Amino acid sequence: MFARLKCELDEFKYTIQTPKARAAALATADQDIDAAKHLVLSMLTLRNTLVPISTLPAEILARIFHLFAFSKQHYSLDLVHVTHVYRRWRQIALDDSTLWTHFSDLSKNKEWIAERLSRARNAPLVVELNGSMGKDAFSLFSPHISHTRELYLHNLFFRVSEIDPEIVRKIGIQKAPVLERFELSVSSISPIDIKHLSGHSFFKGPFPNLRIFCVSQILFPWSLVPRGRLTQLAVTLEKEVLPSVPEVSSHDDWNELIDLLVNCPALEVLTLKKCLPTTLSESSGGQTIHLPRLLWLCLDGSGSRVMNLLKMLKLSSSTMLRLTYRSENTATQEDHLILPILSAHFNDPTPVKFRTLTINLDHVGYVGMAASSLPISPITHTHVIQTDSDAELCLSFHRVFELNDRVDILRRSCNLLFLSNIEFLSISCDILDSSINWSKVFQHCTEVTTVKVYGCGTIGFLQALTASNRADTTACGKGGKKKRSNNGRDAQAQAIFPKLTSLLLEMLDFTDVVPGSGVLYDLVMSAVKRRKAIQTPLTALCIDSCVISERQAKELEKLVPDFRWDHFDGYYGYNLR
């Protein structure tokens, strides 16, 4: 080819003496260049067809493109690379409209949005947008609501206590016949009333396919929620609103909420946070709401509101409960009255026997519990133990300011909620109060084999672990007269957890002084020696993120067969040797 070109160039030297001849020669050269380009492209195409991946059927390649596109968190631009590799790949990608149906908040370029919508054609869309999306770009989606399958509108901005009407109005006038999931949240300290939305509705017309409906910081009549086919309903407010506020009158209606739940028997997930109505009428108080398929129930609100709904619900005993009970701080504390309701729930029809319990107790009026029927596997590390995610019951009490009331809730919980079979107990406490009678709280929990303690407030709890079968709370003084011990505990206090074999200590200072026991190190050492002496020794001791010297750790290691220490000998600036 080069030899031919050289020969032709030599001939041109003698034939391009005139402008006309030169133009003809250029035209011939251009034709040869185009032919050469076409030949190269043809050879590249031929080579691509010989690559093994090109022999795959179009359906397989399309499936690969799907896996590539949707394995990315933000795939709007990643998929473009596929169309620039090979002509056949590009055509397969463009022919598959479902590859172009997902829109995330990163799709802010109007031209690119319009191009993707064109490629998606009439395939069901999944649109996820944030308040930072501009109005012009957002308006491109409103004509396509009719074939949108999932719509997420998060953190929409508002001004003058209103949702931006331009954004919502264009949606509110649309029909959504194929919509399956709808989520709406607004960026607002105070909830926004539905009356600010066009048409006093979320969309125009019915929602025959809607399964998931989630709204946050929106006040609306419960009657607007679609009935019948919902499997997930979530309504969340940042704080409970008073019924005296005019805007909440339509939202504060127990009858409408009850009617909604009665007509949604297929619900599998129900979340109602700080949105429950206030006063329950006599006519609706005796109703029963059957939700046989409910797998997850999350309620958050004032105690009376939570109990009013919980009393009416007829659920399977396998339903996982996430309850946040906010004490109304009445003259007579009756926060524990929710416990018999929970006991009846977990006893009907088959009793649930909890095997793990996590407790969090703080000094500002909070009690948290998580109970699960799943057993704990052999401990590999303290951080591995996580029970809340699998717990059938997560129960939180807020604004219970009296310590005695919080301890009483714990004691009643252990008595009423089938906790006598628990094998693993985790307790976190920051209350420095030695008056708590932990032995009384856990007197029925005799099957515990593993205990994890976290925080300085658990020192009193550790003292209860060191008690003998009958606590040595009295001693003989001179002349044989009995005198009370320093800690002032009941003389009949019994040891707790007789089957305890594993102890996990976290975020403790072994130099802390413990009244009547020296320092914490002496208390732990005493517990280890005493259990060994009474033939119920600790077989595992884990120390994590604690202030403890290397010498102290080695002394404990001599007495416990399975001793684990993270070799961290101080925190908050401590460094012991």
Q: Is the pLDDT higher at 210 or at 13?
A: 210
From CA 444, how far away is CA 357, in angstroms rounded?
Answer: 14
Let me know if residue 2 belongs to a domain: no
At residue 78, φ and ψ (nearest 5 deg) are -60, -35
pLDDT bracket for residue 231 (50, 70, 90): very high
pLDDT bracket for residue 396 (50, 70, 90): very high
From CA 76, how far away is CA 272, in angstroms rounded?
Answer: 34
Residue 408 exposed, middle or buried by CB count within 10 Å (0-12, 13-18, 19+):
middle
- Flag whether pLDDT at 574 surpasses 80: no
From CA 477, how far away is CA 475, in angstroms rounded?
Answer: 6
Identify the CA nearest to 441 among candidates 377, 431, 352.
431
Residue 542 near residue 530 (C-beta atoms within 8 A): no
User: Residue 344: which H helix or E strand, with range?
Assistant: helix 338-345
Q: Among residues 99, 116, 143, which one ends one of the domains?
A: 99
Residue type, 214: C
From CA 239, how far away is CA 237, in angstroms rounded?
Answer: 5
Let me know if residue 84 belongs to a domain: yes
From CA 539, how far away is CA 528, in angstroms rounded?
Answer: 10
Q: Among residues 99, 133, 149, which one ends one of the domains?
A: 99
Residue 179 near residue 205 (C-beta atoms within 8 A): no
Let me know if residue 509 belongs to a domain: yes
Residue 294 near residue 322 (C-beta atoms within 8 A): no
So what's the pLDDT on residue 491? 33
So what's the pLDDT on residue 477? 42
Let me know if residue 540 belongs to a domain: yes
Angle between helices 338-345 and 303-312 (to 10 degrees): 30
Reported as a single tens digit per residue, the pLDDT across 412-453 is 888 888 788 899 999 998 887 777 888 889 988 889 999 999
At residue 24, φ and ψ (nearest 5 deg) are -65, -40
So what's the pLDDT on residue 516? 77
From CA 323, how far away is CA 396, in angstroms rounded?
Answer: 6
User: Residue 306: which H helix or E strand, with range?
Assistant: helix 303-312
So what's the pLDDT on residue 96? 93
Identify the CA nearest to 520 among candidates 485, 495, 481, 556.
556
Residue 335 near residue 356 (C-beta atoms within 8 A): no
From CA 362, how far away is CA 457, in angstroms rounded?
Answer: 9
So what's the pLDDT on residue 289? 92
Residue 459 near residue 520 (C-beta atoms within 8 A): yes
Reported as a single tens digit per residue, the pLDDT across 145-163 is 889 999 998 877 655 444 4
pLDDT bracket for residue 244 (50, 70, 90): low
CATH number for the domain that contains residue 377: 3.80.10
How many CB atoms are located within 10 Å of the residue 6 CB? Answer: 10
pTM of the model: 0.81
Q: Which single residue is written with the structure tokens 């491109």? A: 140
So what's the pLDDT on residue 556? 93
How many CB atoms are located within 10 Å of the residue 410 CB? Answer: 22
Let me know if residue 434 belongs to a domain: yes
Q: Among residues 99, 133, 166, which one ends one of the domains?
A: 99
So what's the pLDDT on residue 11? 67
Residue type, 239: K
Total structural domains within the chain: 2
So what's the pLDDT on residue 249? 58
How many CB atoms are located within 10 Å of the residue 310 CB? Answer: 19
Q: What is the 3-state secondary structure (H, E, C) of 53-80?
A: HHHCCHHHHHHHHHHHHHCCCCCCCHHH
- Dihedral sign for Cα atoms in the order 156, 160, 162, 166: negative
Let me know if residue 66 belongs to a domain: yes
Q: Whole domain around residue 67: which residue ranges?
A: 40-99
Q: Is the pLDDT higher at 375 or at 528?
A: 528
- Flag whether pLDDT at 360 surpasses 50: yes
Let me know if residue 455 belongs to a domain: yes
How many CB atoms are located within 10 Å of the residue 477 CB? Answer: 9
At residue 485, φ and ψ (nearest 5 deg) are -75, 170
Reported as a single tens digit per residue, the pLDDT across 181-213 is 999 888 777 787 766 554 556 777 778 899 999
Let me know if residue 376 belongs to a domain: yes
pLDDT bracket for residue 120 (50, 70, 90): very high
Identify the CA nearest to 431 among candidates 370, 486, 360.
360
Per DSSP, 469 falls in state S
So what's the pLDDT on residue 86? 80
